[in-house]
Amino acid sequence: MSFPVKKFLSYYKPYRSIFLIVLFCALITSSLTLVFPLLVRYVTKDVLVGSLSTAFTDVLWVGVLMILLVIAQNIGNYIVDYKGHEIGARMETDMRGELFTHLQKLSFSFYDKEKTGRLMSRVTNDLLMVSELYHHGPEDYVKYLVRFIGAFGILFFINAPLTLTVFCFFPVLGFFSLYFNKRLNRALTDNKERIGDINAQVEDSLSGIRVVQSFANEFLEISKFNRENQRFLESRKGTYRAEAYFYNGTEAFIQLITITIVIFGSIQIVNASLDLPDLITFLLYIGFMIEPIQRLTHMSTQFQEGITGFQRFMEIMNTKPVIENEPEAKSLSNVKGHISLKHISFHYDSSLEPVFKDLSLEILPGEYAAIVGPSGAGKTTLTSLIPRFYDVTAGGIYVDGENVKGMDLKFLRSNIGIVQQDVYLFSGTVMDNIRYGHPEATDEEVMMAARQANAHEFITRLPQGYHSEIGQRGVRLSGGQKQRVSIARVFLKNPPILILDEATSALDNESESIVKESLESLAKGRTTLVIAHRLSTIRNAERIVVLSDGKIVEEGTHEALLKQEGPYSRLYSKQFEFQV
């Protein structure tokens, strides 16, 4: 991909003033560095060969001047080092915030394909490298460019033939550097991919550590991790190989330059076209020309890591959400909960078979409807289309007569409450997790929602009550407790439309009974869609919709569908036989 220079430079804009001060300080300190060899040349060529009676005074004044230069240099270097790093850190913080905000907007289809560990690598490691480039890049290039050009000009003034002879090495060194820069770029990009794979593997294994240990499959996870770790090692070896060629090749050129100066300089001294103080000055200044080359390996690595990090950052930032608001998205004054699915079709990927084709369904305001069917029939997918987690590929979904594609996403989703089988609770307290349904709610409103969800009693028995820490994903709570906390969260949200996605299928009978009571309380007065695995839990539904192969094959009440002796009756009979 082409590098977006304008976008890269735009992150300097908020800190332009202080950044220019840092660059100015880098310019001044580098310029002051060039003065020292001139002072040495003055002492050795003019002071010491003149009258020794005044030499001490002159040397003393030169020493005082050098001390003042050192003080000025250190003040400038302090500003460059401290403020420069601070600017880099601030820009990194801005970019990380922008990236995280963008990740929050990306659709489910993006996360269906991406691994969390790889995304974490882009949010952390990549932006750290970009931060180093933002700070050190301009500063180092200004600093070393000033030294190189300044040293070249002074050396040319001292001895033009010797300077031009040395300068002949630099074009060759430039081509050499460009070649290995490309190799380093490829190697570093590969490194970032491999470390992303390691992050993904670690995140996957540690998130499922209970499953790993319950199956005694630690060796399997270690084997998978070692495979990714070995791939990372191989990619690092490629980087080190390129760096070794680059570094040692550069060192060889530097040694050749030094040898050239010593030989040609000595010949010129013999021929009386160069004196010893000028040769000493020449050797001192040539260090300023060579230093950028010596630092080139580090600078190139830093540059390439920063560039590839920024490219990976932009790769995510350029990913557009599949689901977005229309230009003039609407919000309704009052949602009654009338849902219509009109001739909808949907597929996850154009290369896959459609999940639905020309499906129509209507749910009346306040109706309690259940969706049942065998695994893979599309029950969860159907309910995911209503809040626009995915968009239909044909047809339309309407809420109170308004196409959901034309509705404001935040408004639409804030009016739909979802209780899932796989409850996700965040690290923090019980209070924090319930309040997630309505972040501005008071403690009293949170407690009221917990009472409505039959959760207040068990919460008050926890060590710190509502302020008890529940661990990552709520591991310190039982399945039934977690489910009731999630129901309390939806009570607090108080949406007119409710989707219950197999909310009790993973619970034991006692927990299911308590949670079922909470769900029935939650469903009162709301348009409710229930995806049910246990058909006994939806006998009282006003309407049962039976899905099979992405089509509605039956609908009616529990008793009416049993009398038809169709797909629902067969599903119910199988479950009954299994329970017996």
Residue type, 169: F
Binned at pLDDT 50, 70 and 90, residue 203 comes out as: confident
- Report the sign of the C-alpha dihedral through residues 56, 59, 65, 71, in that order: negative
Rounded to 10°, the helix 16-33/52-105 angle is: 150
For position 214, what pLDDT does the model report? 63
Q: What is the pTM of this model?
A: 0.75
Q: What HEC string does 249-288 produce?
A: HHHHHHHHHHHHHHHHHHHHHHCCCCCHHHHHHHHHHHHH
Task: Domain 424-494: give its CATH code.
Answer: 3.40.50.300
For position 215, what pLDDT does the model report? 67
How far is CA 18 from each of CA 15, 78, 82, 88, 316, rounded to the nearest angstrom?
6, 14, 11, 11, 29
Lowest mean pLDDT among 4-8, 22-26, 99-103, 422-426: 422-426
For position 345, what pLDDT does the model report? 92
Q: Is the pLDDT of residue 2 over 70?
A: no
Residue type, 201: Q
> Cβ(281)–Cβ(41) under 8 Å?
yes
Provide the token pair at 117: 């560990």
Q: For residue 138, how many C-alpha atoms fall within 13 Å in the half-sphere facing its CB?
A: 22
Q: What are the residue boundaries of the structural domains of the chain, listed by start?
A: 12-317, 330-415+496-580, 424-494
The β-bridge partners of 492 are none
Q: For residue 306, how many C-alpha atoms fall within 13 Å in the half-sphere facing its CB?
A: 20
Buried b (16+ CB within 10 A) or exposed e, 497-533: bbbbbbbbebbeeebbebbbebbeebbeebbbbbbbb
For 379-394, the pLDDT digits (tens) are 888 988 999 989 999 9
Binned at pLDDT 50, 70 and 90, residue 545 comes out as: very high
For 135-155, the pLDDT digits (tens) are 888 888 888 888 888 888 888
Pairing of strands 394-399, 402-403: antiparallel
Q: For residue 145, how many C-alpha atoms fall within 13 Å in the half-sphere facing its CB?
A: 9
| Closest by Cα among 141, 175, 154 to 286 | 154
End-to-end CA distance of the chain: 62
Give percent above pLDDT 90 in the chain: 20
For position 540, what pLDDT does the model report? 81
For 58-82, the pLDDT digits (tens) are 888 888 998 999 999 999 999 998 9
For position 256, what pLDDT does the model report? 84
The long-range contacts involving 322-327, CB below 8 angstroms and separated by at least 24 positions, are 322/107, 322/109, 322/110, 322/390, 322/391, 323/107, 323/108, 323/388, 323/389, 323/390, 323/391, 323/409, 324/409, 325/408, 325/409, 326/405, 326/406
Query: How long a stretch of residues is the chain?
Result: 580
For position 580, what pLDDT does the model report? 41
The long-range contacts involving 76-84, CB below 8 angstroms and separated by at least 24 positions, are 76/25, 76/26, 76/28, 76/29, 76/32, 77/25, 77/29, 79/21, 79/22, 79/25, 80/22, 80/25, 80/26, 80/29, 80/139, 83/18, 83/21, 83/22, 84/22, 84/26, 84/135, 84/136, 84/139
Buried b (16+ CB within 10 A) or exposed e, 39-72: ebbbbbbebeeeeeeeeeebeeeeeeeeeebeee
Q: Which of the listed ranges 135-149, 250-264, 498-512, 547-561 does the model predict with the highest average pLDDT?
A: 547-561
Q: CATH: 3.30.465.10, 3.40.1160.10, 3.40.50.300, 1.20.1250.20. Which one for 330-415+496-580?
A: 3.40.50.300
Provide the token pair at 179: 């070649």
Q: Which of the listed ranges 20-24, 182-186, 204-208, 350-354 does the model predict with the highest average pLDDT?
A: 20-24
For position 446, what pLDDT does the model report? 92
Pairing of strands 394-399, 527-531: unpaired
Question: What mean pLDDT comes out for the span 550-572?
Answer: 88
36/47 Cα distance (integer angstroms): 15
For position 395, what pLDDT does the model report? 92
Average pLDDT, the chain: 84
- Report the 10 Å Cβ neighbour count for 187: 22
For 293-304, the pLDDT digits (tens) are 667 656 777 787
For position 365, what pLDDT does the model report? 92
Determine phi and psi for 225, rounding to 5 degrees: -65, -45
* Sequence-separated (6 or more) residues with CB below 8 Å from residue 134: 11, 12, 87, 88, 91, 92, 306
Task: Domain 12-317: give its CATH code.
Answer: 1.20.1560.10
* Sequence-separated (6 or more) residues with CB below 8 Å from residue 229: 198
Question: What mean pLDDT comes out for the span 525-540?
Answer: 82
Question: What mean pLDDT comes out for the span 343-354?
Answer: 85
Question: What mean pLDDT comes out for the span 248-253?
Answer: 80
Question: Where in 459-550 does DSSP place strands (E)?
Answer: 497-501, 527-531, 543-548
Q: Is the pLDDT of residue 46 over 90?
A: no
Q: Is the pLDDT of residue 467 over 90?
A: yes
Note whether 12-317 and 330-415+496-580 share their fold.
no
Provide the token pair at 108: 């489910």
Q: Is the pLDDT of residue 223 over 70?
A: yes
Q: Is the pLDDT of residue 429 over 70?
A: yes
44/281 Cα distance (integer angstroms): 9
For 394-411, the pLDDT digits (tens) are 999 999 999 999 999 889
How far is CA 1 from each of CA 180, 192, 286, rounded to the nearest angstrom?
19, 16, 39
537/114 Cα distance (integer angstroms): 36
Structure-model confidence comparison of residues 509 and 230, the more confident one: 230
CA-angle at 471, arms to 441 and 113, nearest 5°: 90
Question: What mean pLDDT comes out for the span 262-290?
Answer: 80
> Cβ(340)–Cβ(367) under 8 Å?
no
For position 576, what pLDDT does the model report? 62
| Closest by Cα among 428, 424, 511 to 464 | 428
DSSP H/E element including 32: helix 16-33
